Amino acid sequence: MRVLGIETSCDETGVAIYDRRAGLLANQLYSQVKLHADYGGVVPELASRDHVRKTVPLIQAALSEAGLRARDIDGVAYTAGPGLVGALMVGATVGRALAYAWKVPAIAVHHMEGHLLAPMLEENPPEFPFAALLVSGGHTQLIAVTGIGQYELLGESIDDAAGEAFDKTAKLLGLDYPGGQLLSLMARQGVAGRFTFPRPMTDRPGLDFSFSGLKTFAANTIRANGHDDQTRADIARAFEDAVVDTLAIKCRRALDQTGLKRLVIAGGVSANRTLRERLAEMMQKRGGNVFYARPEFCTDNGAMIAYAGMVRLQNGIHAGLDITVRPRWPLAELTPV
């Protein structure tokens, strides 16, 4: 079984082909970072138009990379949500149309389920059950996972997601968009302990997150302490340490609450080196294991959509002829496999 996956939820156009036996056969990705950089953030209309231009050429490139033709594809998976509605409509329309033309099933994939399953693309995938930290520009969630489509939300951000806070703080530090990775690079030059940032919502019970106040604290610290390079690096270090500590504290609570021994981290922020090191150290002390995807599968990509679509298709789950997208779509509403 071979599934072609299409990802167009935000500012990356991703197309990949996954084979149930041979694994990933092709992976094509186009990033719109340069397009949106002048605006300091994603412009939805521009994103949609760029997906229109890039999706079909990337599908052709993926087929060429895999040495396949249309008749070799057994299903077409596309991101149906959550995400920007216009961007989602591009992938959903192209995916549904191709499936109809090729006379194969179409599979509507949940974007965050794609991220959650991305570590399954690695040589040492996690076994069920596990706790998952989904941490990206749009989501920060802790989830207990007992199987495909069997997700219990344990906690989530009540305001800004962690990745969003990274990007906004990076902008305050004068870094280009998207600034999360640049902030992390700057933080490596910072002196630990010069500034102390709060660890929001860790002084009370519960597994929810809040990062908007941390961003405000960073803004006030930047305003009060000048803008020389070392000070900016020290502030970046303090901010990153606060976010990573907060995520680690909440992960530890989730593991204590569920009794699980395996932790998966997924989403764009899961590529953060400091976060990976902190969680690996924590899980080693607990006698457990942490799992994550390689960096190129942490950000939005077609490989995770192709894989998630393949898993659902082989269990008989696929979409109808209608083209429906869901900009907001709780994971808990997915059909269990």
318 is in an annotated binding site: no
19 is in an annotated binding site: no
Give the Cα separation of 120 and 135 in Å (integer): 17
134 is in an annotated binding site: yes
300 is in an annotated binding site: yes
Question: Angle 44-66/85-102 helices, nearest 10 degrees?
Answer: 30
Say how many C-beta atoms besides its own lie within 10 A of residue 45's C-beta: 10
Beta-sheet pairing, 2-7 with 75-81: parallel
| Phi, psi (rounded to 5 degrees) for 28 | -120, 135
| Phi, psi (rounded to 5 degrees) for 18 | -120, 130
Residues 6 or more apart whose Cβ sits within 8 Å of residue 309: 3, 5, 18, 75, 76, 77, 78, 107, 109
138 is in an annotated binding site: yes
115 is in an annotated binding site: yes
Say how many C-beta atoms besides its own lie within 10 A of residue 159's C-beta: 16
The closest of 136, 42, 27 to 85, measured between CA atoms, is 42
136 is in an annotated binding site: yes
174 is in an annotated binding site: no
User: Could you tell me which residues are annotated as the binding site?
Assistant: 111, 115, 134-138, 167, 180, 272, 300
Q: Summarize the annotated binding site for substrate as residue ranges.
A: 134-138, 167, 180, 272
Q: Which residues are annotated as a binding site for Fe cation?
A: 111, 115, 300
